Amino acid sequence: MNETAQAQASELIKQTRARVTAARVNILAVLLTAQRPLSHQDVLATLDPDADRVTVYRVLDWLTDMALAHKLAGDDRVWRFSVASKPHQHAHFQCTRCGRFYCLEHVSTDLSLTVPAQFLIDAVEITVKGVCASCLK
């Protein structure tokens, strides 16, 4: 596991004033080094083979609750997780063939939205769908 990512993960968790555990550090480090949002299965495949799948679910949910990660719902109803930028201001690309998600860091998400009176926007998610480079080969 990448020591730099583990040190960064540990520091981010300390900033929440929550307990720093090996599972939290390892899972956040996986997300920090990932090039794309990862499913629970992707995270499990990257960790030690003995990692407990329920612990991974719980840590991913905790990271989301603590705003250290965000999750995206795919058309396949599988959640994907990635490190949360503050604020999370980028779009995503989902491949319609393989289901993988990719962060689109340089796509503007500045939208002028109008909602009815008494409504409050919490988040806006932009997902572009198409075929990724790997699937086009």
pLDDT digits (tens, 9 = 90+) for 45-66: 999 888 899 999 999 999 999 9
- Separation of alpha carbons 72 and 114, rounded Å: 23
Name the least confident of 19-28, 48-57, 100-109, 111-120.
Answer: 100-109
Per-residue pLDDT of 63-85, as tens digits, reads: 999 999 988 888 788 899 988 86
- 87 pLDDT above the threshold of 70: no
Alpha helices (H) in 1-137, listed in sequence order: 3-14, 22-33, 40-46, 53-65, 133-136
| Structure tokens, 63 | 């990271």
SS3 for 47-69 is: CCCCCCHHHHHHHHHHHHHCCCE
pLDDT of residue 10 exceeding 80: yes
At 15, list the tokens: 């900033």
pLDDT for 85: 66
What's the whole-model pTM score?
0.75
Q: What is the pLDDT of residue 88?
A: 58
> At 113, is the pLDDT very low, low, confident or very high (cuts 50, 70, 90)?
confident
- pLDDT-derived band at 101, boundaries 50, 70, 90: confident
Task: Return the number of other C-beta atoms located less than 10 Å from residue 111's C-beta.
Answer: 8
Say how many C-beta atoms besides its own lie within 10 A of residue 128's C-beta: 11
Of residues 92 and 17, more confidence is placed in 17
Q: What is the mean pLDDT of residues 9-23?
A: 95
